[in-house]
Structure 1
């Protein structure tokens, strides 16, 4: 989710950083000090002296371990069928002799697959396959009408990606179906979290960058009741339909995500005004095993440069710790 005034700036920040720059930052983190961020303890235990709504002073986030080899990669356009519609997507495939782990990188509200491509490209250079899906009505240039899109339609689309990737056929032969990780930004984070909770046996890891767990609260702040929501309206600068509010009005995301018991990484900016940091604090205490890394001074969407580099370094360190990447 992005604010009406800041959405273009966020998309620029997410889309402008090249994979080579991100890789350089990860390599530096592997051999030097970690970024300044809050690292939360697992199993929902709060740090001493903190509350779910207050951030503690920053500490070093765990950095990637060892020397990180780099790989050449190729790009494949690979469609997925969801609810009878063909959705385009892009798969970044490293040069490898055997099946490799897959990270599915989901974009946020009113965004597009290209906006998460730099992260996918950086992961491909580190030896992981990375797929950037599109969603029905999910953003500019997407298939379908945005007024018929909701978080739950995107969950159905991401479920279709999981099903296709696990077949290891039709272009997915490079993917190890036992090592699939979901990575989502903003609304893509909530979509990834819900999908993982509904299919925990299919998702080996979950990475959430500033996940939009605030959607229901934001809708409630704009409308007095579901009946007051019009058929078509503007929500955070995006033209949406009533189904978007209907699917989320009485939905408790925290109750559902608690069912995902594998380790989770959450990365969130301390100065996020669209989805405040406290929503990720609550998620940290909801998941049985979650780590929350705080990017000090970051808003909703990480600036190209240090903020996004810190987020990627934390992500790579997490992938090593859960055994998806070699340390």
Structure 2
């Protein structure tokens, strides 16, 4: 089939879990308000998510209460499938190798989407890495060549490079690598960890997009109906996006990952409903869910603080950060 343009409602149905809001400029998926620290403008414009009640925030740690470190950012590309991916490694001023958190952006994202998460973690004494998936956004190539599985291959390449502890990765402890991903990046991180459970020490997932396959089936009755490309808000996705996920069950892979998992999800997420994360917590062998009342698909303001605080506490519990 030739290229096709589908309605906003259909886009949200089929790509909502992968970030339709980002494509349609309605809500960011791993970038914009969902992938940065809150600003004063958020409160002024009403972007910030509602304040979650304290009773619904167990095991949340304020990063400001922990020791802080100076850090520097270093440009560090990774080769995946013969193509270079831009990346930036944040390294704290600590002599010995430190744990690494690899941050994965959402659909049609950018290398800068999770800078605030990475910088916060580096300030706590952890190395952190942000990168741009091949063809994962308009700055990184042809988005019609991208799928969840091509991004899994990219993340595997990053993990392999980091585990070498060479060629720019000398500051990283290859035995302590945690994957942090938002929306589609959360799904990509989950699949990667399930494929390499002995190499990944933890998973911190923010509003992960676990309903991609189901949503594709809601829009298309068969794979034959999927066009070669779909144009959405000026961006295009290729048929490969549907082909790679059509028969894939992410929940079937979750049982293969035995290490502790953190999922942070808003109760009012219309894009990737929290019910998918509730099912994931019951499916992973060892997982916890931190909920944010009233938050949607993306965190800002106090919701961002809560997500960061829950992630910090989780990293303490699995031994990546000192108490």
Common fold: TM-score over 0.5:
yes
User: In structure 2, which of residues 126, 150, 171 is the aligned counterpart of residue 128 of structure 1?
Assistant: 126
Q: 1:134-190 CA distances to partner (integer Å, 9 max, x unpaired)?
A: 111101201x31101000000000000000000000000000001100000000000
- Give the equivalent residue in structure 2 for 1:72: 70
Residue 194 of structure 1: CA displacement?
A: 0.4
- Give the equivalent residue in structure 1 for 2:311: 315
Decide whether the 8 Å contact of 1:35 with 1:61 is kept in 2: no
1:237 to 1:189, Cα distance in 2 relative to 1, 3 A? farther
Decide whether the 8 Å contact of 1:124 with 1:130 is kept in 2: yes
- Give the equivalent residue in structure 2 for 1:306: 302
Matches within 5 A, 1:99-178: 99-142=97-140, 144-178=141-175
Decide whether the 8 Å contact of 2:28 with 2:297 is kept in 1: no
DSSP 3-state at the match of 1:172: coil
- CA distance, structure 1, for counterparts of residue 285 and residue 56 of structure 2: 22
- CA distance, structure 2, for counterparts of residue 71 and residue 36 of structure 1: 30
Q: Single out whichever of 227-236 and 165-174 deviates more from structure 2.
A: 227-236
Q: Single out whichever of 157-166 and 229-238 deviates more from structure 2.
A: 229-238
- Give the equivalent residue in structure 1 for 2:258: 261
Residue 60 of structure 1: CA displacement?
A: 2.8
- CA distance, structure 2, for counterparts of residue 181 and residue 310 of structure 1: 19
- CA distance, structure 2, for counterparts of residue 280 and residue 16 of structure 1: 22
- CA distance, structure 2, for counterparts of residue 125 and residue 193 of structure 1: 25
Q: How many equivalent pairs are there?
A: 291
1:8 to 1:64, Cα distance in 2 relative to 1, 3 A? closer
User: In structure 2, which of residues 12, 37, 44 is the aligned counterpart of residue 17 of structure 1?
Assistant: 37
Residue 9 of structure 1: CA displacement?
A: 8.8
- CA distance, structure 1, for counterparts of residue 30 and residue 156 of structure 2: 26
Decide whether the 8 Å contact of 2:212 with 2:245 is kept in 1: yes
Structure 2 gaps of 5+ residues are: 1-17, 40-50
1:158 to 1:126, Cα distance in 2 relative to 1, 3 A? same
Structure 1 gaps of 5+ residues are: 20-33, 38-57
- CA distance, structure 1, for counterparts of residue 199 and residue 246 of structure 2: 28
Residue 98 of structure 1: CA displacement?
A: 0.4
- CA distance, structure 2, for counterparts of residue 222 and residue 35 of structure 1: 34
- Give the equivalent residue in structure 1 for 2:214: 217
Q: 1:92-113 CA distances to partner (integer Å, 9 max, x unpaired)?
A: 1100010000000000001112
- CA distance, structure 1, for counterparts of residue 62 and residue 209 of structure 2: 30
DSSP 3-state at the match of 1:6: coil
- Give the equivalent residue in structure 2 for 1:200: 197
Decide whether the 8 Å contact of 2:30 with 2:105 is kept in 1: no
User: In structure 2, which of residues 48, 58, 61 is the aligned counterpart of residue 61 of structure 1?
Assistant: 58
- CA distance, structure 1, for counterparts of residue 234 and residue 204 of structure 2: 26
- CA distance, structure 2, for counterparts of residue 224 and residue 241 of structure 1: 17
1:65 to 1:122, Cα distance in 2 relative to 1, 3 A? closer
